[in-house]
Amino acid sequence: MITTSRVFLAASMLLMSACSTMGMPIMLSYEEAELFQRDGNCIKLTGDRIKKIPGWSKVTAYVNEHWGSDGGLKVNDHKYTDKMVMACMNVQQVTSTWKSEPQCQDSLTDFDSKAMGTDLVISGTKEITRETHASWTTTHSSELTAGAEFTVGIGSDATGKAEAKFSMSTTIKDETTSSKGSSRETKDSFGYNFPVPKGNTCGLKLKVTDCDGQASATVPIVVTGTVWFFYNDAVPDKTDASFGNHYHWSVHLDSILSEQERTSLIELSGGIKTSTKGELLVECKPSEPGAKAITKNLTTGKTLSGGASESKSASDTPKDKSPKDGKPKTGNSTSTKPKTGKPQTGKPKTGKPKVATKPKSGKPKSGAQKPGKKSRAALVERSQW
């Protein structure tokens, strides 16, 4: 009588005929022999590359503890398509860091000579253009996906000048010294309306700001999925014999390794050039005695200089209206008489007496429990054959 176990043993022996010596895994098929396979921003890994993750020694220690060291590593086997292992760029955008303060230079030119004069309103609509050019060089390869290309968004951090800020999508290659250039142009429009102050003659200036800087960025490549270990003989789990003896055992990497232990980094260095064209400045010069010069950015609405007569707040209190008797201010009191600061005569206040506060009952919150040990989830996905 042919039992199921004998059939399985025979099939396993046939499979092992394709193995190389020294307990290595079964030969990869032609498709699997590819160095890597594109799948969006994920790369299908090979056995040699999976060993480059920081926590691989932890995986081998776990395997030896449970099933022994004689198993051959097998990844992305065609029989287990639901248990693959991939290296993925699992972020859509990373934030770069300026290596030093970006250098920016402004230039001004006259704009629309018709919008000049006195006793009028300068108004209109202007398009503003922002251009970014970058060249990113890979300074450190992740090794997991060496040679692969990824598309990633890179933006500037919160430091640096506002005109130097950027956000763009670029293609990078996981190969040291590889360089990729990218550009982005955005356009926007804004309306402006500026009443010319009395006694001034105003004109518009077109502002162009060019910035140049060096930035660095780090792109994480994270390994996720399952690896297999094939044994020549059916072996038990030395920590739990109830699983029986099997030839194939699998380990789910996400369960026994932290993300940091499964992550390798691609490091980039980039030269960044930005150009902002279209900001408008209005410059007003006095044409009558007593008028003050004013410069204002119509794009941002920020007054750059002058404008003291316009910036005076209604809440400003003239000095001659401040109290002159030297008595303390009354604050928000509605009384017309200022407080004298004299001590109380001993008469109690007519308001409600203060009630002594009761101490907190100290009742525990409903359902509150002392933190205990976390329940230990199964660390290994034991798929056995």
Architecture category of domain 4-92+220-267 in CATH: Roll (3.10)
Q: What is the CA radius of gyration of the chain?
A: 36
Q: Would the pTM of this model clear 0.85, i.e. be above it?
A: no
Judge contact between 144 and 276, C-beta under 8 A. Answer: no
For residue 135, the model assigns a pLDDT of: 94
Every domain of the chain and the residues it spans: 4-92+220-267, 96-216+269-306
Judge contact between 202 and 194, C-beta under 8 A. Answer: yes
For residue 124, the model assigns a pLDDT of: 87
For residue 69, the model assigns a pLDDT of: 94
For residue 306, the model assigns a pLDDT of: 75
The amino acid present at 148, given as its one-letter code, is: A
Nearest to 29, CA basis, from 46, 9, 7: 46
Nearest to 193, CA basis, from 124, 128, 111, 126: 124
For residue 178, the model assigns a pLDDT of: 87
User: What is the SS3 assignment for 190?
Assistant: strand
For residue 199, the model assigns a pLDDT of: 84
Judge contact between 291 and 120, C-beta under 8 A. Answer: no
- Residues of the chain scoring pLDDT < 50: 1-39, 308-381, 383-384
HEC sequence for 329-344: CCCCCCCCCCCCCCCC
For residue 229, the model assigns a pLDDT of: 97
